Structure 1
Amino acid sequence: MITIANNLRKKITPEQLFMISVLAVNGGNYLYNLILGRLLGPAQFADAAVLITFLLVLSFIAMTFQLVTAKFSVLFENQLFKSFISKIYKNALAVGIAMGAIIICFAAQLQHLFNTSTSSMFVIFGCGVPLYFLMSVNRGVFQGKKAFKALSVTYQAEMLSRLLITLGLLFLFNIQSSVVIAIGILISFGFGLLPFKFKTIAFNTKTLIDVSHAKQVKRFFILTAFYELTQIIINNSDILLVKHYFESYEAGLYASLALIGRVVYFIAWMFVMLLLPTVVQLKKEGKETASILFKYVGYIAIISFAIVLACLSFPETIINLLFGNSYITMAPLLWKYAIATSMFAISNIFAYYYLSLDRYVPVIISGVFGMLQMVLVVFYHESLEQVVHMQIFAMILLLIIQVVFFKLDQVKSNRKV
């Protein structure tokens, strides 16, 4: 048995090990959401969905720091790398403290806006925001250096701690469910920092980054921040708008639909984590990068087709198994929502590819269609079905335009050669 285990360890590459770990983490996060959905019921799950959506929004904002750190961990070396890391940790902590303070100060207004049962959940959540930003920079270092074992550990620690602590508190104490979920999220941020080298944060050290490198970092940071903003809009605006326009019961039903339909996006995210450092490294070495894009687009397309087919063929079975009979009315919309998220997941690979190459147009395209999706839902929300149809329309258009841009870009590059 030991010999077999050793042979398997040698055959599995670090990238494959990370992919297996990400699948396990996504599975754990899904289990977390599914258990909450079954325990709380549609009305209370609507509150939980708001917190979970806030967590996703936070993850996209913090992803800006993670991707910037990952890219320049590949490009920078020695003292330049140390100076860069020290500076980005300080900036991330400052942004985290500012954002956390804003959430805490406007907790009452957030409660009113999203029709939640308490404002305390936003206060608790806000306290954890600075930790999340530090955690993201830490993950960016692991991602850029391809330290996939350590990167896997930090994701697993966050997921497992949130799952076990939240469920433990729900079963042991008679505390409002939304507050328990917020506490679980807060504590999980601390576990997600592991492993962490505190020596890398040197607040008193002067940075040694020259003007040209500083401009390079700033430009990529702004570009990435803009793109992550589009991710927030496309990925989360529908749940928040539904929570605003519909009753809690319907919002809870929609949250279950979104959770199931987005499985393809969370799988695509795994490939994005591998795509960025690989493309940056190939570009640094002067090698072609399009083959990497084709590889990951192919993976996502196959997975998307399988998920949409399953949602079309067995919608009631899937919803009943995952959330229970209380959510069964969402069955007819499941395959439609899966189409919208599939289109977005594939177009997302194109956008991150060009982001890795410091190209701006695909990012701007995503931003335009993110706003279009939100505007369509604002004006057309007579039913949950109409909300889903608006997303399908916007995401199909987004994918078509991203593919057309890629084709035109390839023709232009071939002419230069």
Structure 2
Amino acid sequence: MLKIFLRQNIVVLILLNSGNFCNYLFQVVVGRALDPAEYGSLNSLAALLSVIMAPASVMPVVFAKFTIELGDTARIRNLISTCMKGMGLIALVVPVGATLFTGTAMGYLKLTEPTPYLIMLLNLSVALLLPPMWGVLQGLSRFTYFGVASAGAMFIRLAIAFVALRLFGQGINAALSAWTFGLIFELAISALALRDVMRVPAAPLPAGIFRRMVRFAIPALASTTMFIFMWNVDIILARLYCSPYDSGLYANAAIIGHIALFLPAALVNVLLPHVAKAHKEGLSGGGALAASLALCVVLSGGFCLLCLIWSEEIISLLFGAKFIPAAPILQLLSPAMALLSLCNVLINFSMARNRFSFIKVLALGAGLVPALVYAFHADGRTIALIMLGVSALILAGITLTLTIEERKQA
């Protein structure tokens, strides 16, 4: 079983990190085409999209877990069709409602025109349809389809952005529109991957399944939302408290530093369904946790070391000399993201086993970041230092909580 787990991890790591590579090339293209203020606006909108999407981001976890629990294809088909109808309605209502706050968003994000915000809302509408499909694909162990959809979306976004920004000199609106086409591709491939499931006649779902899904989703939603908040809120706060130029530098350092978080992030897509299945069979899943943590240390730690030694060279290579002043920020954010990557593994391991005692620690961290930034925001480096300290606190707290929980179960 561990061999299958490692093989699936290799497939997902290759595909999703190919997508991440395209994502960072996309950031290089737009970073070189836009000035720091425009680049800060683009990534503030991206961070805002991630925060708004946070409630929906728990759905892959929920659907993966309950796809494994249902097992039967006919019941899974019923689950998908029922939930996609609801998500379709949400995908229409939420972005349309958000247009009422266009003026407020423009002022908060320091935008000079509404178009970037409106394109972001279009992206939100498409993105809201994806999480249930992701969860079912993971629950069915269709990691190749899942990886191809994600990597392909990133490649399309990169290709369109390169043509629009580098060859035709377009700006932030073109970069956001490239994002739209990538999301549409990902939606199409995900639907294609589930076409055999959707052809099966639907069977009745077990009584009370939605109640159990909600009971699991509430703490999972809280933890996922707070975790996404943790690695996005600093960009928004930097935009709020720093000058447009300084916030652009911070966004640049954050984009590079996030590699330490995203490089091993694919591991949890395999870890959660694997541990959930093991838990269903009465096994601990400890071997999968150890393997995931070891891979995480190698991947995140290795990248973090590169950033500590060659921060200026990495920034200059990727984004040009104009962003070199972001180097001190990168040297703090990369280890902060590496620590959060370890937290991510522990969080998903616990959720797969229906344990949520770590939420109090995560809530403390999510509250500390804006509070400390509000009190201390002299520059981007100060905000990055706060992120590093809070990330270390969260990892220590979650590790302690998990250790105490395991001893009680022994």
Using structure 1 for the length normalisation, give the TM-score. 0.90
In the alignment, which residue of structure 1 is the partner of 2:117?
A: 122
Secondary structure (helix, strand or coil) at the match of 1:106 reads helix
Give, as a single letter, the amino acid of the residue that structure 2 aligns with 1:65: M
Secondary structure (helix, strand or coil) at the match of 2:282 reads coil
Distance 2:114 2:374 in 1: 25
Distance 1:380 1:109 in 2: 25
Deviations 1:88-130 (A, max 9, x none): 2122222222321233222221111111232111112212323
Q: Indicate the RMSD between aligned Cα atoms, in angstroms.
A: 2.3
Change (3 A) 1:331 1:128: closer
Deviation at 1:185, TM superposition (A): 1.6
Q: How does 1:142-221 map to 2 (within 5 A)?
A: 142-171=137-166, 173=168, 175=170, 177-195=171-189, 196-197=191-192, 208-221=204-217
Between stretches 261-270 and 134-143, larger displacement belongs to 134-143
Contact 1:355 1:363 in 2 (8 A): no
Give, as a single letter, the amino acid of the residue that structure 1 aligns with 2:407: V
1:22 aligns with 2:16: yes
- Out of 88, 103, 125, the position equivalent to 1:108 is 103
In the alignment, which residue of structure 2 is the partner of 1:298?
A: 294
Distance 1:128 1:317 in 2: 33
Distance 1:260 1:378 in 2: 24
In the alignment, which residue of structure 2 is the partner of 1:3?
A: none
1:258 aligns with 2:254: yes
Deviation at 1:211, TM superposition (A): 4.2
Between stretches 251-260 and 109-118, larger displacement belongs to 109-118
Deviations 1:273-311 (A, max 9, x none): 111110111111111212221221122123333223222
Give, as a single letter, the amino acid of the residue that structure 1 aligns with 2:127: Y
In the alignment, which residue of structure 1 is the partner of 2:227?
A: 231
In the alignment, which residue of structure 1 is the partner of 2:218?
A: 222
In the alignment, which residue of structure 1 is the partner of 2:3?
A: none
- Out of 8, 22, 30, the position equivalent to 1:36 is 30
Distance 1:248 1:201 in 2: 49
Deviation at 1:255, TM superposition (A): 0.5
- Out of 246, 261, 269, the position equivalent to 2:265 is 269
- Out of 356, 380, 385, the position equivalent to 1:384 is 380
Give, as a single letter, the amino acid of the residue that structure 2 aligns with 1:323: F
In the alignment, which residue of structure 1 is the partner of 2:342?
A: 346
- Out of 306, 311, 316, the position equivalent to 1:310 is 306
Give, as a single letter, the amino acid of the residue that structure 2 aligns with 1:403: T
In the alignment, which residue of structure 1 is the partner of 2:39?
A: 45
4+ residue runs of structure 1 moved beyond 6 angstroms?
198-202
Give, as a single letter, the amino acid of the residue that structure 2 aligns with 1:194: A
Distance 1:95 1:208 in 2: 24
1:395 aligns with 2:391: yes
Deviation at 1:158, TM superposition (A): 1.2
- Out of 112, 131, 137, the position equivalent to 2:132 is 137
Contact 1:261 1:337 in 2 (8 A): yes
Structure 1: gaps (5+ residues): 1-11
Deviations 1:40-94 (A, max 9, x none): 1312211121233234335544322222111111111333322222222122222
Q: Which has the higher contact order (CA 8 A, sep 6+)?
A: 2
Give, as a single letter, the amino acid of the residue that structure 1 aligns with 2:69: L
Distance 1:173 1:316 in 2: 29
Change (3 A) 1:170 1:153: same
In the alignment, which residue of structure 2 is the partner of 1:6?
A: none
